Amino acid sequence: MKYELDPRSHEWSRHERVIVFDGVCNWCNAWVNFTIDHDPHGKFKFGTLQSQNAKQILQELQLAPDNFETFLLLERTSIFTKSTAVLRIVRHFSGIWPLFYLLIVVPLPLRDAVYDFVARHRYKWMGKAETCRVPTPKERTRFV
């Protein structure tokens, strides 16, 4: 799914790409680590859904501010969610990962059904942290 954000309404829109993720989800944190490892040019910045900035965006988009079963990909003023966000991210990775972008031809309801299944079970499969992720000193410049 795609939404539009008024660039004057949010400071994160000044970044080219921001991944907004559930900061206490171990699955999501593993995804952030994977992204950092496969994004050698540092195209992506990261923020947590628990932050005030993310809550402002969720409110503006009329999404539940406490439902973290999706993450957001901000590309300046465009916001993508669920499977579309994942596919738009992997197309920027190094190696063979951009080939997965070809899955964009799969109908959105089917792609998002798979995404929703994983999202519903992610805490059971990989657990949940007590607090949001704290970036290492090396990673700090990648987080907003």
Average pLDDT, the chain: 88
Give 19: exposed, middle or buried? Use CB within 10 Å, 0-12, 13-18, 19+. buried
Give 133: exposed, middle or buried? Use CB within 10 Å, 0-12, 13-18, 19+. buried
What's the chain's Rg over C-alpha atoms? 14
Residue 120 belongs to a domain = yes
What pLDDT was estimated at residue 129? 84
What pLDDT was estimated at residue 17? 94
Q: The domain containing residue 42 runs over which residues?
A: 2-137
Residue 81 belongs to a domain = yes
Residue 142 belongs to a domain = no
What would the mean pLDDT of 5-20 be, rounded to a whole number? 81
Does the pLDDT at position 93 exceed 80? yes
Residue 130 belongs to a domain = yes
Residue 23 belongs to a domain = yes
Does the pLDDT at position 92 exceed 90? yes
What pLDDT was estimated at residue 138? 82
- In angstroms, the first-to-last Cα distance of the chain is 23
Residue 97 belongs to a domain = yes
* C-beta of residue 31 within 8 angstroms of C-beta of residue 23: no
Q: Number of structural domains, the chain? A: 1
Residue 143 belongs to a domain = no
Does the pLDDT at position 114 exceed 90? yes
Residue 16 belongs to a domain = yes
* Residue 106 structure tokens: 């799969």
List, for residues 54-85, the tens digit of each pLDDT value. Answer: 888 888 888 777 777 778 999 988 889 999 99
* Residue 21 structure tokens: 């993720």
List, for residues 22-34, the tens digit of each pLDDT value. Answer: 888 898 889 999 9
